[in-house]
Amino acid sequence: MEPSMKVNKPALNSLRWLKKAWFAIQAPLIAIVGGLLIGALIMLITGHNPIDAYSEMLEGAVGGRNSANLVSTINRSAPIIGMGIAASIAFRAGMFNIGGEGQLVLGGVAAALTAVYVPLPPILLVPLALIAAALAGGLYALMAAFFEFKFNVPLLVSTLLLNYPARYFTSYLVTHPFRDVASGMNQTFQVPENIRFALLGENTQLHAGLFITLTIVILAAFIINRTVPGYEVRMTGLNARFSRYGGIRSKKVGYWSMFLSGAVAGTVGAIEILGVIYRYVDGALTLPLYAWTGIMTALLSGSSPFGVLAAGLFFSAVQTGGFGMERKTDVVRELSRVLQAIIIMLVAARASFQFGKQKDTVEDES
Amino acid sequence: MSDILGLFDANLISSILRFVTPILLAALGGLICERAGVFNIALEGMMVTGAFAAVVGSFFTGSPLLGVLLAMFAGMLISLIFAVLAINLKGDMIVLGIATNLMTSGLTVFLLRTIFGVKGAFQDPSLLGLTNIHIPILKDLPFLGPLLSGHNLVVYSALVLVVVVQLFLFRHKLGLRLRGVGEEPEAAATLGVSVNKLRYLAILASGVLCGLAGAQLSLGNVTLFVENMSAGRGWIAVAAVMLGQAHPIGVFGASVLFGLSDTISFRLQGLGLASQFTDMVPYLVTLMSLFAIELQRRRSSLIKAEA
């Protein structure tokens, strides 16, 4: 795209790579610093001490005895990264899927019910639960793509609205037909112990499901980098509005990306059930706002899978740190959400300049 | 069937407009933005900010009306941030809308704790809600009485605002320019109309209207603030703008439909249905209506093709 890319001197390549890498992280970094400064300003205005709050946040994110908080941060980052990948896959194809939450809960409940009620040996049951979750999430997302392409129902609005029926439906399932009544809570029975993901050590909450998340990141990077940019490059000059967030909106790419996006979201739900919660608990997947945080990681990283990985760890640290901050100071953990949103706003404001420049160069060339 | 008809008693009728109002006000804001070429999905966030500010204003001044004013002001402040980022810094409006909604949902919880020292919800006997005004003569009529009379000032303002927005857009010079900016920004600019200024105006107006919508939620329908109390109504308002084809009368009709489904969902819970199914109704009706737009469009293009 840039004229300089036509030059092919190997010696310059590594330097250019560094330059490109810096270019990629420069905007998010500036936004993060800006976001923290604005957050400090908000705290000052409302009579809180930002230095106390931020140091407790840092301690809450990575400190604690035996780095217990760092483990929490890593654990929490898995669903965030997973949902970030789910969002990125759709965004890259120009599909603004903001219905990750609905796809996530349907996947979670599908995995939990499969695990509890299907009598199969673990070696078959674990994959089956994961597949059920991926299908539940994937088909639900596919439905929104179908509405968009066949009935012109805008995907942005339909995916958001579809979150609510999914949330209420799963809530119904675990408060009525599949409720573990004796537990006194709105939740399913526990999944059998032999199909839970193994813990990665004696005294840790880290579980084997994290490897599935990592695999998803790598696969997504492969899919996005190998298949989409081809379209992307060709389309950038032709359709600036949609190519801004990625490729083109051919129906086939649209359907597939929505299915994969939803399938990843559903799988994230399954991983949380089999690796962390061990049953479907009403609200357990929605209250931490995994889906929305995932969307923010995709926006912060420009929908690049490894960028999502980094952004997911960062946002997870901000959120886990938020709990520490809430315990030790009078600042509530929801301030983390405010910080994240401000960072995204700053990225959005800055990104426009860069996209603008890119578009100009394309036009200059043609 | 008689059960369904039995739902339409005086109580239901009188609650229709109460549920319609927040959606209608936010949708009017969305409509003005749409007409100015601004895709504003931050309605939800501006609404929840308004709901919170209304409670703050009413609680500390003792006057619900001042609460409403503060709500409008707070909604406008949030819309100002949106406007600066979207217009001056040319940020993507969809991304900014999503971020605004998340920021306000966190900010209101943060301020709830800072100001009232509570989490989740705030309710207090000394918190005053808006008073209902009974209109003489009208209030004694069957059906029309409970439908139109006995509402608060915000509800009546919403109805008046439908007419005001209609007149503004189609009769006033500024409204004409605003539509020009939305339809042909380049042409409008060549004619000396400031595109940015009018888009600012539209976004700020939507902030004020959403603030008002929020005030209706927290001081009209109930008298309390709950975390995320707008519950997707800002998004339903976005859908109402689409269903009403960005036309004030159409948007009014769409808001009545969605508000009615809100009301019915509320009442169905009394029939022993699982609350989860009744809670779904407004969102499903909204989705369904988006199909209806397309089917309608197809039918009219068929008719055109035949002619």
Per-residue pLDDT band at B164 (split at 50, 70, 90): very high
Residue A93, φ and ψ in degrees, nearest 5 = -95, 10
- How far apart are alpha carbons B44 and B228 in whole angstroms? 9
Reading phi first (left if > 0) and then psi (alpha if -120 to 50, else beta), residue A183 is in alpha
Per-residue pLDDT band at A223 (split at 50, 70, 90): confident
- Which of A165, A299, A341 is closest, CB to CB, to B280? A165
Q: What angle do CA B38, B41, B43 make, to 5 degrees?
A: 105
A chain contacts of residue B284, beta-carbon cutoff 8 Å = 165
Flag if A156 and B96 touch (Cβ within 8 Å): no
Flag if B107 and A332 touch (Cβ within 8 Å): no
Decide: A280 and A109 in contact? Cβ < 8 Å: yes
- How far apart are alpha carbons B32 and B47 in whole angstroms? 16
* Mean pLDDT, rounded, for B3-22: 75
pLDDT of residue B137: 81
Q: Which residues contact A65 (CB under 8 A, 6 or more apart)?
A: none
> pLDDT over 70 for what percent of chain B?
97
Flag if B95 and A160 touch (Cβ within 8 Å): no
Closest CA to B113 of A279, A113, A47: A47
User: For residue range B102-113, what is the model confidence (pLDDT) as tens digits?
Assistant: 999 999 999 999
Decide: B52 and B112 in contact? Cβ < 8 Å: yes
Best interface-test mutation with A: which of B48, B84, B92, B242 has the largest number of A CBs within 10 A?
A: B92
A66-75 as b/e, with b when 16 or more CB fall inside 10 Å? Answer: eeebebbbbb
User: Inter-axis angle of helices B10-35 and B43-61, to 10 degrees?
Assistant: 120
Given a cut of 70, whether residue A48 has pLDDT beyond it is: yes
User: Inter-axis angle of helices B43-61 and B93-111, to 10 degrees?
Assistant: 30
pLDDT of residue B298: 86
Residues 88-147 of B with CB under 8 A from A: 89-92, 94-96, 98-100, 102-103, 105-107, 109-111, 113-114, 119
| Listed range (A55-59, A326-330, B3-7, B196-200) with the worst mean pLDDT | B3-7
Top-confidence residue, B148 or A180: A180
Best interface-test mutation with B: which of A42, A345, A350, A357 has the largest number of B CBs within 10 A?
A: A345
Query: Which CATH number does the domain housing residue B244 bear?
Result: 1.10.3470
Given a cut of 60, whether residue B211 has pLDDT beyond it is: yes
- Which of A168, A172, A244 is closest, CB to CB, to B92? A244
User: Inter-axis angle of helices A10-45 and A290-301, to 10 degrees?
Assistant: 130
* Closest residue, chain A, to B281 (C-alpha): A165
Given a cut of 60, whether residue A46 has pLDDT beyond it is: yes
pLDDT of residue A230: 40
C-alpha dihedral over B95, A37, A76, B49, to 10 degrees? -50
Top-confidence residue, A21 or B28: B28
pLDDT of residue B282: 86
Given a cut of 90, whether residue B47 has pLDDT beyond it is: yes
Best interface-test mutation with B: which of A45, A159, A315, A338 has the largest number of B CBs within 10 A?
A: A338
Helix (H, G, I), strand (E, B) or coil at A199: strand
Flag if B277 and A299 touch (Cβ within 8 Å): no
- Cβ-Cβ contacts under 8 Å between A and B: the total is 135
**Which range, A220-234, B9-23, B241-255, is most confident?**
B241-255
A chain contacts of residue B235, beta-carbon cutoff 8 Å = 157, 160-161
| A360 lies within 8 A of chain B by CB | no
- Residue A258, token pair as written in the block: 């929505």
* Closest residue, chain A, to B280 (C-alpha): A165
- How far apart are alpha carbons B98 and A36 in whole angstroms? 19
Helix (H, G, I), strand (E, B) or coil at B14: helix
A chain contacts of residue B110, beta-carbon cutoff 8 Å = 42, 46, 331-332, 334-335, 338
Best interface-test mutation with A: which of B273, B287, B293, B299 has the largest number of A CBs within 10 A?
A: B287
Q: Write out the residue range of the structural domain in which residue B14 sits.
A: 2-306
Top-confidence residue, B139 or B83: B83
Helix (H, G, I), strand (E, B) or coil at B226: strand
Flag if A156 and B41 touch (Cβ within 8 Å): yes
| Listed range (A305-314, B16-25, B171-180, B185-194) with the worst mean pLDDT | B185-194
Given a cut of 50, whether residue B13 has pLDDT beyond it is: yes
Decide: A278 and A191 in contact? Cβ < 8 Å: yes
pLDDT of residue A225: 73
A chain contacts of residue B92, beta-carbon cutoff 8 Å = 244, 348, 351-352
pTM of the model: 0.87
- How far apart are alpha carbons B214 and B53 in whole angstroms? 9
Flag if A157 and B242 touch (Cβ within 8 Å): yes
pLDDT of residue A126: 94
pLDDT of residue A237: 34
Residue A6: exposed, middle, or buried by beta-carbon count in 10 A (0-12, 13-18, 19+)?
exposed
* Mean pLDDT, rounded, for A135-155: 94
pLDDT of residue B105: 94
- How far apart are alpha carbons A283 and A105 in whole angstroms? 9
Given a cut of 90, whether residue B192 has pLDDT beyond it is: no
Residue B271: exposed, middle, or buried by beta-carbon count in 10 A (0-12, 13-18, 19+)?
exposed
Count of domains observed in chain B: 1
Q: What is the ipTM of this complex?
A: 0.89
- Residue A188, token pair as written in the block: 């399913």
pLDDT of residue A235: 44
Mean per-residue pLDDT over chain A, rounded = 85
A chain contacts of residue B293, beta-carbon cutoff 8 Å = 152
- Which of A98, A168, A341 is closest, CB to CB, to B103? A341
> pLDDT over 90 for what percent of chain B?
57
pLDDT of residue A271: 96
Sorted by where each starts, the structural domains of chain A and their CATH numbers stand as 47-198+205-365 (1.10.3470)
Question: Dihedral sign, CA of B19, B24, B26, B27?
Answer: positive
| Listed range (A138-147, A194-203, A215-224, A282-291) with the worst mean pLDDT | A194-203
User: For residue range A28-37, what is the model confidence (pLDDT) as tens digits?
Assistant: 888 999 999 9
| B77 lies within 8 A of chain A by CB | no
Flag if A345 and B100 touch (Cβ within 8 Å): yes
Flag if A176 and B274 touch (Cβ within 8 Å): yes
- Which of A96, A169, A344 is closest, CB to CB, to B276? A169
Flag if A341 and B99 touch (Cβ within 8 Å): yes
Beta bridge partners of residue B226, listed in sequence order: B121
B chain contacts of residue A295, beta-carbon cutoff 8 Å = 98
Mean per-residue pLDDT over chain B, rounded = 89
Flag if A164 and B111 touch (Cβ within 8 Å): no
- Which of B41, B284, B290 is closest, CB to CB, to A153? B290
| A154 lies within 8 A of chain B by CB | yes
**In B216-247, which residue ranges form alpha helices assigned H by DSSP?**
233-243
DSSP states of B97-112: HHHHHHHHHHHHHHHI
- Residue A237, token pair as written in the block: 């000059």
| A354 lies within 8 A of chain B by CB | no
pLDDT of residue A351: 64
| A41 lies within 8 A of chain B by CB | no
Decide: B202 and B252 in contact? Cβ < 8 Å: no
B chain contacts of residue A30, beta-carbon cutoff 8 Å = none
